[in-house]
Amino acid sequence: MKDDKTLWPAIPYSDWAGTCSALHLWTQIVGKYRLAHTPWNNHSWHATLRVTPRGLTTSTVIDGKTAVTLTFDFQDHQLVGETTDARESFALEAMSVADFFHRTATLIEKLGGRLEIHGAPNEIPDPIPFAKDTDIRPYDGEAIQRFHQALLSIDKVFNHFKTGFLGKVSPVHLFWGSFDLAVTRFSGREAPRHPGGIPSLPDAITEEAYSHEVSSAGFWPGGGGVDEPMFYSYAYPVPDGFSKRPIAPNAARFDENLKEFVLPYEAVRTSADPEEDLMAFLQTTYEAAAETADWDRKALECEFGTPAVPRKVNR
């Protein structure tokens, strides 16, 4: 049985920054394949990846008459493509983004599909088109496995947190643009138009993503101005007084540059009860948003779910 140190492994960003950057770009290629073949859903939920016991997956993608799933298998270190009657894979190893792009295109073609995507990264300043990014990137398999184990533990807590809400709430999913695992609650009210301005991302996407009032929480492994793995929580639009609300645990703080509450992953994983501390962060930062924005908490909230026990219906 795994203990907390195994379930919540150390993942210092500096130790695997090159591998993390490569994986971020690889997930963009795979995620864009799902995006290109899936009808638009709420707030780009149709484009995301999901955590599995072995890695990350697109879930089923309908490519013409073929149903395809692409999965990053971080246990055997492969990208795996599957249909009802075929399975193809190639090794995850040190390679360029261009190599990964071409190998993925070949894999999909062998499965009967086509990789026809927007060919450059999103949400990255000065993006290099995938096919022209020819520098060899490192691949640290042990670091990848530690990251995956962290995702599994975080995914569990995020999904538990999700059950305490009756209103509209997102899946727990990985956005490959910003490379964060996230879960979002909605008040049900429309929000002011988002100003956009995110690098290499059309404003229309941001406007649709933030069309309604949210309290959102997530996890970054590092990069993009964050030098360590970090949990975050923000509200859009930002209510007056949001940043001044008391939150838990003690290691959490409001970051004036990001305009979000943050909590270092290292503080969570080394605490006496990582799951309890992370749940405290999720709940108190949500309450900060809901209370300062005057959400209808009585109508939107419920007790956290329990396996095999139906929710009570209050009438």
Tens digit of pLDDT for each residue in 265-293? Answer: 999 999 999 999 999 999 999 999 999 99
This prediction has a pTM of: 0.96
Average pLDDT, the chain: 96
DSSP string, 16-38: HHHHHHHHHHHHHHHHHHHHHHS
Can you count the helices (H) and strands (E) in the chain? 8, 13
Radius of gyration of the chain (CA): 20
- Angstrom distance (rounded) from CA 31 to CA 40: 13
Predicted local confidence at residue 315, as pLDDT: 63
Predicted local confidence at residue 274, as pLDDT: 98
Bond from prior residue into 237 cis (ω within 30 degrees of 0): yes
In the predicted model, residues of the chain with pLDDT beneath 50 are none
Predicted local confidence at residue 313, as pLDDT: 72
Predicted local confidence at residue 4, as pLDDT: 66
Predicted local confidence at residue 298, as pLDDT: 94
- How many CB atoms sit inside 10 A of residue 195's CB? 10
For residue 152, give both structure tokens: 């599994």
- Alpha carbons within 13 A on the beta-carbon side of 210: 18
